[in-house]
Structure 1
Amino acid sequence: MYYDYQEMIQKTAPYRVLAFNRGEKEEVLRVSIEIDATKIHAYLEEKNLPNKENGSVRLVREAVFDAYKRFIAKAVEREIRSELTETAEDHAIEIFSLNLRKLLLQPPLKGKVILGVDPAFRTGCKLAVLDPTGKVLEIGVIYPHTGKGRVPEAKSKVTELLKRYGVQVIAIGNGTASRETEQFIADLLHETGSEALYTIVNEAGASVYSASEIAREEFPDYQVEERSAVSIGRRLQDPLAELVKIDPKSVGVGQYQHDVSQKKLSDALTFVVETAVNQVGVNVNTASAALLQYVAGLNKTVAGNIRKYREENGPFTSRTELKKVPRLGAKSYEQSIGFMRILEGENPLDKTAIHPESYKAAEQLIKKLGFTLQDIGTPKLKAELQQANVGEMGQELEIGKETLQDIIQDLIAPGRDLRDELPQPMLKQDVIKMEDLKPGMQLEGTVRNVVDFGAFVDIGVKQDGLVHISKLSQSFVKRPMDVVSVGDIVTVWVDEVDLKKNRIALSMVAPKDAK
């Protein structure tokens, strides 16, 4: 699409700059900057030559023009290209960071028994049954796509797992054989009358995790594909806890991420992961070392020591017990402890985001309202806290207004997970094919990626559909990020289906005849 293409530099979108660069690097494009040299020649003459004509002036003019042609023009072009690239890289990194944050903060599907499925044709679909905490209950493999003779066997195996463990949700990876596996699962659910639901999970980076040192340490006896099935299931149960195990560059929500400065990208994405982890907080008794290392004040070594201590001494019963962890010094403890939760601890305040430094103030507040620490989370205490006069109470307890407001919010909703307020993943029992799509058809979909020119939406067929920036809203949209985010559940209408090119054009603007 960029052969024989030109546009004004100031109107060039950042993603097109990166596309030009990639095409040039792969030697399929030649990119150059075209300018009106006559104006530049006139400018150089005015600055360097006297307003008269003689032999010397002519020689200097030739020298000036030659200097411009051979040195200045090329240097300026390099500067312009460099500036365009730097701006485009920063923009691409910003988009990647925003998408990654939304992906990490997708709501977890709590309290469900999950069957994770890593689809494949020849090697079979790997299965992993997970309990609500993510513990692996059983591993298996079925071959529904290698011949009709294996389909009954595959159906029998999956039906047995659904019944034995009371599986409520089936998580199917969106890689090779995903849609064929989805059809198999949908048919099975109809035939057996099972109440289980299924959903398609973005498995980008699952193979990277499965072959990583973290995965080998976590599941030393499993094959790579079996680890992928576990990861796919856990991504549904707790996206943040699972995705932190993967290099952020491999999670599939970027735009030209391989064409930007890898150091700048890595620094930006690490910052995003750290802020997401600390905003949500971690359960110190269930968090992996991979998750703990992103807590402010901790590093990989200390995170590993926390896990080892937990394995050797049992679950932590209080935040103060963390002081016994090797290499967790006083400063690191002070910085990190507010982000680590102990849900079943001796002190009910340990399950909140309240820092131990503020425990005394929190206890005084609760006592003043006529309650005890054991009342934390009860409706009566919540009602009293909601009616409390922050200004007066702050003066009486000699606590800053902002600090007191934070304490009250944490006491009203102890252990609150900000992700719970977001829309849950779409669960289905039936499947549609690309051939079933017709212009004007209304569908629900999940936003998988947001880029400068629009958003890619998973509507349950093999190919994600593109909602062009012009179809995101009835009003003008400058940045798609202002309208949609990764993980959003959106209503879309089919604009156009191109089966030959395997493309689906969608719109978030309802057609005039839509009800």
Structure 2
Amino acid sequence: MEQELNVKGKQINQVIALLEEGNTVPFIARYRKELTGGLDEVQIKDIMDRWTYLQNLATRKEEIIRLIDEQGKLTEELSAAISKAQKLQDLEDIYRPYKQKRRTKATIAKEKGLEPLAHWLLEQNNDDPISKAAAYINEEKEVLSAEDALTGAKDIIAEMLSDDADMRKWIREDTFSKGEIKTEGKNTENDEKKVFEMYYEYQEPIRKIVPHRVLAVNRGEKENILRVSIVTPSELILSKMERKTIKRSGSPSAVFIREAMEDAYKRLISPSIEREIRTALTEQAEERAIHIFSENVRSLLLQAPLKGKVVLGVDPAYRTGCKLGVVDETGKVLHIQTIYPTPPRSEVEKSAAVVKKLIEQYDIEIAAIGNGTASRETEQFIAETLKDLDKSVAYVIVNEAGASVYSASSVAREEFPDLQVEERSAVSIARRLQDPLAELVKIDPKSIGVGQYQHDVSQKRLGEEISFVVETAVNQVGVNVNTASSSLLQYVSGLSKTVAQNIILKRNEVGKFKNRTELKKIPRLGAKTYEQCIGFLRVVDGNQPLDQTGIHPESYPATKALLKELGFTPADIGSEALAEKLISISLEATSEKLDIGVPTLKDIIEGLTKPGRDPRDAFSGPVLKTDVLKMEDLSKGMELQGTVRNVVDFGAFVDIGVKQDGLVHISKLTNRFIKNPMDVVSVGQVVTVWVDSVDVAKQRIALTMIAPK
């Protein structure tokens, strides 16, 4: 486990101990750095996942030993082999011969008393098998001839070979390393958009097929457009099986063993191994797709917020009109209205008058336009309207994926009971620009639309991984307990949905919380929950200055002692004088004096220096626009600024301001070789790109991030 995770044994033991005490991953990562050696959330979760796997492996070992022992077949050698197994697959291979099977050819042959004949054949002596088999003729058991007896014996041998754990292991390895995936078109007329065209006649080594092609092939097979098979190195495997099985090729029994061996491979082993390999490829591909999706969601959640701006949210539409939502700096809704600047009504002048009036009335500084239906025409209208203003107002195209899902949800109905679905959408679009994290946590992440094949993977695994990513992002940023929604609070370390709702109810009942201690009165928020959550909850403008920081209350005594030592009070938090003084202190000497670890001291210093620090501020903000760009305006070599909308295995899709996102292929992301596009770009990142090619007919744009020479 140490080598596998590249973590020291002491760190692993500490993490496991902390988890078993009921501590959450974010709490351990943030407030138990001395014990873990500074492991981050991902490393801690890797340890947790591996520990869970090993516990399941140990439980399965105990179960298998018990089941085999009940059959009276457990030997010291078998028990040792089970104990040594490192993977569930290896364990199941060992257990296979002892597993209760449905009635097979071999079990029928054993019922006929032919097992001794099978073992005699495997001894490979010089006697005549026909003569030996004649002794097993028994009309009552339907063994009517020596040939019948030998057929039954071969069935038993075939199953014995199929159940041989070592044999299955090397056959699986050889099939994987030397076999190929083959796909053929099946019902290609149903593939109207030719999505699977490249797989109509396709063959690739199993060991080389990349995850996104595995999932593409699986989808094509599921939609009955492709026929998928594995081309196995059967001649090589059969030759190897013969060398391992037939020790005396001159024995009269060898021919029967060879027939049993070929039957074992073709009827029992090969189909089973093919299924196992397809399953393993799918599991690996799903894990990769889940990883890509979760990393994209993480980047999306941690996009830089646009703080302190009054925003006009615009939800584009044709027939039903564009919904406008004005929200203030805190996200409070100030105004809702519908305009009809797009066909069929095309009330451009009347709509422009409304927009101009709202901008003047509420001192709007930026417009957020959803990128859905009618976005193109709405953007054109907004751009032209903003040009007529005396003040400078920019606009941003906001990815509204999932906004309609949120607008129709119970969360949205509870938040805006008096608004229509589309009106809620306009507010959500505006708020997404102001604080992506706070708004996106209200939406099922699977609706956000970043990643590839996320709907084809295990939804349970995807859900678990996404919950972890959202929880990590929320806790890294921290939450203002006086403004946070229940949707945001429930992702805070240790808080359940019920406790989050209880916090909201208490806040509505008594008003803003004045300090963290007041949260101890929340129903069902016990001592352990308080310990886990409180460092991530901020009380801004309360009566305890330390409560606005990420410093945990358990460190308040040390923090106050440090401030006193330097001649300051909590009221001085964030001041330049305090920041300058903190730079000059000796970390080792101070940590020893205060009896706290250096990592905790560093976090205290950061909290005292930058009490309201938001880690998202380090990321690039949205691309502000003042004019519209059309696909026809693009030309090869044109330099543009764009926002990364999605990162996949083969590259990144970048929004450059036209309706269609451009693709930067992995080979065009950088002038060095990379295996993973995420090494170079992330969702929400603002990048400089150059147009490589444009196909207006197919609505395709190829971009490059390698500057032209």
Give the 3-state SS of the residue equivalent to 1:258 in structure 2: coil
Match of 1:472 in 2: 669
Distance, in Å, in 1 between the alignment partners of 2:345 and 2:507 is 48
Distance, in Å, in 1 between the alignment partners of 2:379 and 2:346 is 19
Match of 1:298 in 2: 495
The correspondence for 2:688, drawn from 477, 483, 491, is: 491
The correspondence for 2:511, drawn from 292, 314, 336, is: 314
Residues 14-38 of structure 1 show CA distances to partners (whole Å, capped at 9, x for unaligned) of 1110111011000111111112322
Compute the displacement of 1:97 (Å). Answer: 1.4
The correspondence for 1:104, drawn from 301, 305, 310, is: 301
Residue 199 (structure 2) pairs with residue 22 (structure 1): no
Residues 57-97 of structure 1 show CA distances to partners (whole Å, capped at 9, x for unaligned) of 44443343233222221111101111111111111111111
The correspondence for 2:208, drawn from 4, 7, 11, is: 11
Match of 2:609 in 1: 412
Residue 364 (structure 2) pairs with residue 167 (structure 1): yes
Residue 400 (structure 2) pairs with residue 234 (structure 1): no
Match of 1:182 in 2: 379
Give the 3-state SS of the residue equivalent to 2:347 in structure 1: helix
Match of 2:418 in 1: 221
Residue 637 (structure 2) pairs with residue 440 (structure 1): yes
Which segment is superposed worse, 214-223 or 52-61?
A: 52-61
Distance, in Å, in 1 between the alignment partners of 2:533 and 2:317 is 42
Compute the displacement of 1:214 (Å). Answer: 0.5
Which segment is superposed worse, 402-411 or 313-322?
A: 402-411
Map 1:178-217; keep pairs closer than 5 Å.
Answer: 178-217=375-414
Gaps of 5+ in 1: none
Residues 263-313 of structure 1 show CA distances to partners (whole Å, capped at 9, x for unaligned) of 111000000111111111000000001100011111101100101111110
Residue 456 (structure 2) pairs with residue 456 (structure 1): no
The correspondence for 1:244, drawn from 410, 418, 441, is: 441
Letter in 1 for 2:593: E
Match of 1:289 in 2: 486
Distance, in Å, in 2 between the alignment partners of 1:168 and 1:286 is 22
Give the 3-state SS of the residue equivalent to 1:6 in structure 2: strand
Q: How well do the aligned residues superpose, as a CA RMSD in angstroms?
A: 1.4
The percent of aligned pairs where both chains have the same amino acid is: 64
Letter in 1 for 2:669: L
Give the 3-state SS of the residue equivalent to 2:503 in structure 1: helix
Letter in 1 for 2:575: T
Residues 383-405 of structure 1 show CA distances to partners (whole Å, capped at 9, x for unaligned) of 11111222222233333222222
Match of 2:598 in 1: 401
Taking structure 1 as reference, are residues 4 and 261 closer, same or farther at Cα in structure 2, changes over 3 Å only? Answer: same
Give the 3-state SS of the residue equivalent to 1:98 in structure 2: helix
- Counterpart contact for 2:587–2:601, Cα < 8 Å: yes
Match of 1:31 in 2: 228
Give the 3-state SS of the residue equivalent to 2:419 in structure 1: coil
Which segment is superposed worse, 46-55 or 231-240?
A: 46-55
Give the 3-state SS of the residue equivalent to 1:501 in structure 2: coil
Give the 3-state SS of the residue equivalent to 1:20 in structure 2: helix
Residue 288 (structure 2) pairs with residue 91 (structure 1): yes
The correspondence for 2:279, drawn from 82, 102, 112, is: 82
Distance, in Å, in 1 between the alignment partners of 2:594 and 2:508 is 40
Residue 553 (structure 2) pairs with residue 381 (structure 1): no
Residues 430-471 of structure 1 show CA distances to partners (whole Å, capped at 9, x for unaligned) of 110011111111100000111100000000000000000000
Which segment is superposed worse, 141-150 or 350-359?
A: 141-150
Taking structure 1 as reference, are residues 39 and 396 closer, same or farther at Cα in structure 2, changes over 3 Å only? Answer: closer
Match of 1:370 in 2: 567
- Counterpart contact for 2:324–2:336, Cα < 8 Å: yes
Compute the displacement of 1:185 (Å). Answer: 0.7
Give the 3-state SS of the residue equivalent to 1:152 in structure 2: helix
Which one scores higher on RCO, CA 8 angstroms, separation ≥ 6? 1
Match of 1:153 in 2: 350
Compute the displacement of 1:110 (Å). Answer: 0.2
Distance, in Å, in 1 between the alignment partners of 2:666 and 2:707 is 15
Compute the displacement of 1:40 (Å). Answer: 2.1
Distance, in Å, in 1 between the alignment partners of 2:604 and 2:695 is 56
What TM-score, normalized to structure 2?
0.71
- Counterpart contact for 2:319–2:345, Cα < 8 Å: no
Compute the displacement of 1:373 (Å). Answer: 1.6
- Counterpart contact for 2:318–2:344, Cα < 8 Å: no
Compute the displacement of 1:51 (Å). Answer: 4.5
Distance, in Å, in 2 between the alignment partners of 1:481 and 1:122 is 40
Distance, in Å, in 1 between the alignment partners of 2:203 and 2:387 is 54
Letter in 1 for 2:312: L
Give the 3-state SS of the residue equivalent to 1:5 in structure 2: strand
Letter in 2 for 1:483: V
Compute the displacement of 1:149 (Å). Answer: 4.8
Residues 400-426 of structure 1 show CA distances to partners (whole Å, capped at 9, x for unaligned) of 222222111110101211111211111
Compute the displacement of 1:159 (Å). Answer: 1.2
Map 1:313-332; keep pairs closer than 5 Å.
Answer: 313-332=510-529
Match of 1:42 in 2: 239
Compute the displacement of 1:333 (Å). Answer: 0.9
Residue 547 (structure 2) pairs with residue 350 (structure 1): yes
Count residues with an aligned counterpart: 512
Q: Which has the larger radius of gyration?
A: 2
Letter in 2 for 1:475: R
Distance, in Å, in 2 between the alignment partners of 1:87 and 1:69 is 26
Residues 166-197 of structure 1 show CA distances to partners (whole Å, capped at 9, x for unaligned) of 11010011111112111111111113344111
- Counterpart contact for 2:319–2:344, Cα < 8 Å: no
Distance, in Å, in 2 between the alignment partners of 1:402 and 1:366 is 18
Give the 3-state SS of the residue equivalent to 1:274 in structure 2: helix
Distance, in Å, in 1 between the alignment partners of 2:444 and 2:527 is 30
Distance, in Å, in 2 between the alignment partners of 1:112 and 1:234 is 10
Residues 114-162 of structure 1 show CA distances to partners (whole Å, capped at 9, x for unaligned) of 0011111121111100000000001111111124651111111111111
Letter in 1 for 2:704: S
Match of 1:426 in 2: 623
Give the 3-state SS of the residue equivalent to 2:388 in structure 1: helix
